A = this chain, B = another copy of it.
Amino acid sequence: MPPSIAVIAPGAMGSAIAARLVEHGCKVLTSLEGRSRATQARAAASGMSAANDSEIVNADIILSIVPPGEAVALAEQLATTINRNRKKPVVVDCNAVNVETIRRIQDVVLSSGARLVDAAIIGLPPKPGTKGPAFYVSGEAATDIAVLGQLGLDVRVIDGPIGAASALKMSYAGINKGLTGLGAAMVLAATRAGAADALRDELALSLPHVQARLANALPDMLPKAYRWVAEMREIAGFLGEDHPAAQIYEGFAALFEHIAADVQGEGADAAQLVAFAESCKPN
């Protein structure tokens, strides 16, 4: 019999992961208390079942998939209920938090008697017919959830402690989203100075894959820029306040904040980035 699984919360990623698990015969619980009608509808469409806190902590596996700022509070809330419960689930923190944060979450979860797995989801929410996203896991309990690999998730065990999966998530995002940030900053600056066409041409000649990546990534980033602000700050925290490179990611946070405001407002920068991306496409 497949394990019982709870997924909190039923956001875009959480509900898509839940839908895949349901497809593979799992019962997937979630908490809908205080959630909007849209969220309730999304959860229902994914085949999730509404459950209260004590039902949720009776699941075999609990996946925590929330915005990074909410990860510790959710762990504390779960731990409080698990503490009173005889059955102890495996809690899987899938959030884009830095290593220090996942260690705090570890203390909270272990003190309740539950086990913790550090997980990093890399890629877009699962869609029918695709294999992704990658679901990296680390920590002693990682092998306890290997079953998820037979339930439609692309589970990859990292041979490392709690913190290794989070470090992977931070460092991958730091390169991937960082590259988009570099491209955005430099395309806007080159455009202002009348050098955007020359930049596009030189990239096409000497860094063609970077050019192709930016042509897709720049427009894709625009609606997500507001969300990337917090993620860049997590990466700065991952490096540590005193690390010389932390400033790079504080700068990216400021840049994405600026772009998010532009997207909400006049859209002048957004238009320049889209124009550059369009100009990269072969005729």
Residues A182 and B175 in contact, CB atoms below 8 Å apart: yes
Please report the C-alpha to C-alpha distance between residue A156 and residue B166 in the assembled complex, in whole angstroms.
Answer: 46
At the interface, yes or no: A228 with Cβ under 8 Å from chain B? no
- Min Cβ gap A276→B in Å is 11
Please report the C-alpha to C-alpha distance between residue A134 and residue B207 in the assembled complex, in whole angstroms.
Answer: 13
What residues of B have a CB within 8 angstroms of the CB of A207 in the complex?
175-176, 213
Residues B174 and A185 in contact, CB atoms below 8 Å apart: yes
- Does more than half of chain A's interface fall in helix, strand or loop, or is it mixed? helix
At the interface, yes or no: A34 with Cβ under 8 Å from chain B? no
At the interface, yes or no: A265 with Cβ under 8 Å from chain B? no
What residues of B have a CB within 8 angstroms of the CB of A134 in the complex?
202, 205-206
- Min Cβ gap A274→B in Å is 17
Interface residues of A (CB under 8 A from B): 99, 122-123, 134, 136, 138, 156, 158, 160-161, 163-168, 170-172, 174-176, 178-179, 181-187, 189-190, 192-195, 197-199, 201-203, 205-207, 209-210, 213, 238-239, 243-252, 254-255, 257-258
Among all A-B residue pairs, the 10 with the closest Cβ atoms: A167-B193, A247-B251, A248-B251, A209-B209, A244-B254, A185-B245, A160-B194, A167-B195, A171-B190, A171-B186
10 A–B contacts, CB within 8 A, in A order: A134-B206, A158-B197, A160-B195, A175-B203, A179-B210, A189-B239, A189-B243, A210-B210, A210-B213, A249-B251
